[in-house]
Amino acid sequence: MAASGALPVVDLAPFFFAGNDEGAAVARATEAVREACRTHGFFRAVNHGVPAELMARALELAAAFFALPDEEKAKVRADAEGSLPVGYGRQPAHSTDKNEYLVVLDPKLGINAYPAEPAGFREAMEECHSKLTELGLLIQEILNDCMGLPPGFLRNYNNQRSFDHMTAKRYFPATEEENIGFTEHEDGNCVTFIFQDHVGGLEVLKDGAWVPAEPVDGSIIVNIGDVIQVLSNKKMKSATHRVVRKPVHRHSFAFFFNLHGDKWVEPLPEFTAKIGEVPRYRRFLYKEYQQLRVKNKTHPPARAEDVISITHYEI
């Protein structure tokens, strides 16, 4: 497993291109993913199958969209009533100097909202969503092997893609008073993919220190979320991360490879009974956990320690 900056780097080429040592190369890449998920919860993927020119074009078009007047962006308004709202919004709500976003769901659902301009925006968003879905399916298969699960277990367990979503985001420049674009948190889903412009700002907490996930053209940052941490009984790490704002606007994309809300989540026997360890989490329904996470945002508790995270289910 090579290193670029501080994050582990995993070359996914063996999963796309057969070679003389294909089996050995796949085994090495799988072990690199396993080690990264145990130690960092994050890694940088290269040769991942998502065209670099597509990511660059998506970032350019997203920047053009976010540069539109507010009244134009507001026409692509998110549906606040939906469980996965689509369209444009600000975070926190009504903020004018924090960050803004556009949420895109699977185009096959037919419920996305797109602006008339910039030209080509819709096509780029839908192609990105499709390519990142393919990457999610690949990473899920790799994780299945990393976790020593029966062939196809995660594919059958997580076989519904309607809860996946992609977010294009613009962070506003830092101010003299405050520079946090997104406070420290862990992702509640299965796997997240991030690609970003040259500005940077994403940081990962490792051994008590904040490690920058510096931009590298054509690469994708991969991190596992709370679902994988629970299934693995905390053998794999849903790492804490944040975004620090810089003196200029920052643009990024995040794709959330998710679990259907009606699925139950609990430590698997491979990490408990079969190895003589007790479960570290109690069983929970995924949509209930997501509702608690949404409540953190819509009705923030007065004390930071009262924010609900996956520790809510710890035994």
Name the residues annotated as catalytic: 250
3-state DSSP percent of the chain in helix, strand and coil, to 5: 35, 25, 40
**Is the separation of the CB atoms in 268 and 231 below 8 Å?**
yes
Name residues whose C-beta falls within 8 Å of residue 69's C-beta, 6 or more positions apart in sequence.
Answer: none
d(CA 171, CA 59): 13
The letter for the amino acid at 210 is W
3-state secondary structure 47-108: CCCCCHHHHHHHHHHHHHHHCCCHHHHHHHECCCCCCCCCEEEEECCCCCCCEEEEEEECHH
d(CA 240, CA 205): 5
The letter for the amino acid at 6 is A
108: tokens are 């096959």
Closest CA to 266 of 229, 237, 231, 238: 231
What does DSSP assign to residue 283?
-
226: tokens are 């709370």
